[in-house]
């Protein structure tokens, strides 16, 4: 069952036409979006809720916590417009704390895919996995990064580039910036490892430990606040498990809103998480690490 909070103009038309009995527009009422989805889930449905930005998450946070999560209901929250996807529309439409907040909910699996393949695979896996989930989509994507026969595994970071100068870890469409930065650095002879760490519920310990051991350090990049998001996930894992990357940097918003508007690309650069900022972080990390 797909429930929308009165959003998805054009986008949901095909679904609605082909699956009219599995489509429900609850209106501009996000508390009900989450609660009605829970009611449906408790009666045996797999209920996907769909809206943009912070509406299906923050606006109805308590419904997700008390109704969906506490009951372990099969509610899958889908937000389009992660990060600065709706950059020109202003701060109300920037989703830049959602990952941390959703990640704090017990039983909520959080996934931020970086490309269409990850999105498709994550959707299938989440639909087939009992319980609550948050699928955070944004308008950018990292291009087709999968190889033939690759399997998507929740909680398992995907190696997109290998290298040992530094490991760049990202989630969501901003992984495109990591790849662009890696290309630029490769031209300088700095081969960076790039990981798409799409699942934020837990860190992929194996991949992080290997990055710390085998590469010059770790730079995390997220179109999100650094508080409690991807950088937090990795940092928590490292400290709790005695994993010590020689360099550790988190790129993302630092206790701030974006108070100017602009395209997703513009805002990434303006707020220090675009290609250039990543390149600088890697260069700086390598310089400081030198004995």
Partner 1 sequence: MTRPNEQDPGTLARNIRLHALRMTSLGGTSHIGSIFSMADILAVLFGKVLQIDPALPKWPNRDRFVLSKGHAGAGVYAALAECGFFDRQILDTHCQDGSILSGHVSHKGVPGVELSTGSLGHGLPVCAGMAYAGKIAGKKHRIFCVLSDGECDEGSIWEAMIFAAHHKLDNLVAVVDYNKIQSLAAVSETLGLEPFGDKWRSFGWSVREVDGHDLAALEMDFSQIPFESARPSCIIAHTTKGKGVSFMENSVLWHYRTARGEEYDAAKRELDALP
Nearest-approach distance from CB 179 to partner 1, in angstroms: 42
Q: Does 7 bind partner 1 (CB under 8 A)?
A: no
Looking at the Cβ atoms of 26 and 190, the one nearer to partner 1 is 26
Query: β-strand 75-80 against 166-170: which pairing, if any?
Result: unpaired
Residue whose CB is less far from partner 1, 60 or 267: 60
d(CA 230, CA 202): 9
Q: How far apart are CA 96 and CA 274, in angstroms?
A: 15
* Residue 36 C-beta: closest distance to partner 1, Å: 4
According to DSSP, the β-strands at 166-170 and 132-136 are unpaired
121 is catalytic: no
Place of tokens 């918003």: 253
- Of the listed pieces 39-47, 92-100, 151-159, 165-173, which binds partner 1 according to CB under 8 A? 39-47
Q: CA–CA separation, 62 vs 36, rounded Å? A: 13
**Binders in 8-37 for partner 1, by CB under 8 A:** 21, 24, 26-27, 29, 31-32, 35-37
Contact flag: residue 139 with partner 1 (CB under 8 A) = no
Q: Does 38 bind partner 1 (CB under 8 A)?
A: yes
- Give the nearest distance from C-beta 66 to partner 1 in angstroms: 6
CB 57 within 8 Å of CB 101: yes
Could you say whether residue 69 binds partner 1 (CB under 8 A)?
no
Give dist(CA 86, CA 51) in Å, integer. Answer: 13
Residue 66 neighbours by CB distance under 10 Å: 13
Shortest reach from residue 130's CB to partner 1, in Å: 16
- Helix, strand, coil % in the chain, rounded to nearest 5: 40, 20, 40
CA angle 100, 37, 197 (to 5 degrees): 30
| Stretch binding partner 1 (CB under 8 A), from 63-71, 150-158, 201-209, 256-264 | 63-71
Dist. CA 280–CA 168, nearest whole Å: 12
What is the distance between the alpha carbons of residues 70 and 230, in angstroms, rounded to a whole number? 24
* Minimum gap (Å) between residue 213 Cβ and partner 1: 42
Q: From 66-74, 143-151, 223-231, 237-245, give the range in contact with partner 1 by CB under 8 A.
A: 66-74
- Find the binder of partner 1 among 62, 120, 240, 284 (CB under 8 A): 62
Nearer to partner 1, 40 or 253 (CB): 40
- Active-site amino acid positions: 30
Binding site for partner 1 (CB under 8 A): 21, 24, 26-27, 29, 31-32, 35-45, 47, 62-63, 66-67, 70-71
């Amino acid at each position: 069952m797909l429930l929308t909070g009165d959003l998805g103009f054009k986008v949901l038309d095909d679904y609605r036409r082909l699956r009219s009995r599995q489509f429900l527009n609850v209106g501009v009422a996000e508390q009900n979006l989450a609660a009605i989805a829970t009611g449906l889930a408790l009666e045996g449905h797999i209920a996907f809720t769909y809206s943009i930005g912070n509406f299906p998450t923050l606006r109805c946070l308590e419904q997700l916590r008390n109704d969906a999560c506490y009951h372990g209901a099969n509610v899958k929250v889908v937000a389009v417009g992660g990060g600065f996807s709706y950059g020109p529309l202003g701060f109300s439409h920037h989703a830049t704390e959602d990952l941390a907040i959703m990640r704090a909910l017990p039983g909520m699996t959080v996934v931020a895919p970086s490309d269409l393949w990850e999105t498709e695979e994550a959707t299938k896996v989440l639909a087939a996995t009992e319980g609550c989930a948050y699928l955070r989509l944004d308008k950018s994507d990292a291009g087709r990064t999968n190889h033939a026969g690759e399997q998507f595994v929740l909680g398992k970071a995907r190696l997109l580039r290998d290298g040992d100068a530094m490991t760049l870890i990202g989630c969501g469409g901003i992984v495109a910036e990591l790849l662009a930065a890696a290309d630029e650095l490769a031209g300088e002879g700095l081969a960076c490892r790039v990981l798409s760490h799409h699942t934020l519920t837990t860190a992929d310990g194996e991949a992080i430990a290997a990055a710390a051991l085998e590469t010059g350090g770790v730079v995390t990049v997220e179109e999100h606040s650094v508080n409690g998001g991807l950088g937090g996930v990795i940092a928590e894992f490292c400290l709790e498990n005695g994993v010590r990357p020689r360099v550790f940097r988190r790129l993302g918003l630092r206790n701030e809103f974006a108070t100017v508007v602009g395209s997703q690309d513009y805002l990434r650069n303006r707020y220090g998480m675009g290609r250039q900022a990543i390149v600088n972080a890697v260069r700086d990390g390598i310089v400081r690490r030198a004995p």
